[in-house]
Amino acid sequence: MFRRSLALFALLVLAACGHTSNPADNPGSLSVAATAIPHAEILEHIKPVLAREGIDLKIVVLNDFVQPNVQVAEGRVTVNYFETKPYLDEFNKHRAVKLVTIAGVHVEPMGGYSRRWKKLGDLPDGAVVAIPNEGSNGGRALALLARAGLLKLRPGAGALATPDDIIANPKKLQIRELEAATLPRVLDQVDLALINTNYALVAKLNPLRDALVIEDKDSPYVNYVVGLDSARSDPRVAKLVAALRSADVKAFIEQRYGGAVIPAF
């Protein structure tokens, strides 16, 4: 699935090369691609701040992990705000255009959820466990299962571990790789699903209350503002980053998400 999406990405980038105008270059506005929760909600919170700086913040809400990068590469938006560096690194291995991290904003601890079982110890032998089907988040899910003692990974498997890196699986868990956005919808069909917090929140799951296992506050998976290298010197982006990393946004995140989303600044 990820490779097919990347093939589409490459075609879109090639098509974009023929455009002579770039709507992301408007000095009075700034377009940002983001997933709905929490990213777009945080961006909505800072819209008045940027308006006072003379910037009309345009938020493009997308519901997958490929299109935000596609739209940056096409020049349809200036930056995006949704992804971790391991995910971006994987994406860039297959890139037509190199995207870079600009500033880290928050962490969304990944959690394991179940509608069939109340605690991890209840999982039966042969339990079906669904994880994201792309490398960085799939590896992240496997690492969380390993830390919970449910399986063991090959030494050195790293952030892009796959099910092939499992060297011990005492419960004979059946790992199913599915598109990240669909994982909340399959909870009735699996024993456990490892779900990114943005999708968990959209599905009205409370990571702190509902997750049977969750990453701790020291998770390295910070969510970044990402763009082309030129965005690093864009004054509009500098103002965006200043607003996102402000004390006001820190308080907003802590109050609105109650620990399910953690400021990373």
The low-confidence residues of the chain, meaning pLDDT below 70, are 1-25
The dihedral over CA atoms of 74, 76, 79, 85, expressed in degrees to the nearest 10, equals -40
3-class DSSP assignment, residue 231: helix
What pLDDT shows up at residue 24?
61
CB 55 within 8 A of CB 102: no
Q: What whole-number distance in Å separates Cα of residue 60 and Cα of residue 78?
A: 11
7 exposed, middle or buried (CB, 10 Å; 0-12, 13-18, 19+)? exposed
Residue ranges, comma separated, of all CATH 3.40.190.10 domains in the chain are 29-109+220-263, 111-214
Q: What whole-number distance in Å separates Cα of residue 196 and Cα of residue 144?
A: 12
**Cα-to-chain-centroid distance, residue 213:** 18
Q: What whole-number distance in Å separates Cα of residue 246 and Cα of residue 182?
A: 33
Tens digit of each residue's pLDDT (9 = 90 or more) over 190-209: 999 999 999 999 999 999 99
Q: Cis (ω within 30 of 0) for the bond into 124?
A: no
In this structure, whether the domain defined by 29-109+220-263 belongs to CATH 3.30.530.20 is answered with no
CB 238 within 8 A of CB 109: no
What pLDDT shows up at residue 25?
63
Q: What whole-number distance in Å separates Cα of residue 228 and Cα of residue 158?
A: 26
Tens digit of each residue's pLDDT (9 = 90 or more) over 52-71: 999 999 999 998 899 999 99
What pLDDT shows up at residue 3?
46
State phi, psi for 130 to the nearest 5 degrees. -100, 135
In this structure, whether the domain defined by 111-214 belongs to CATH 3.40.50.300 is answered with no
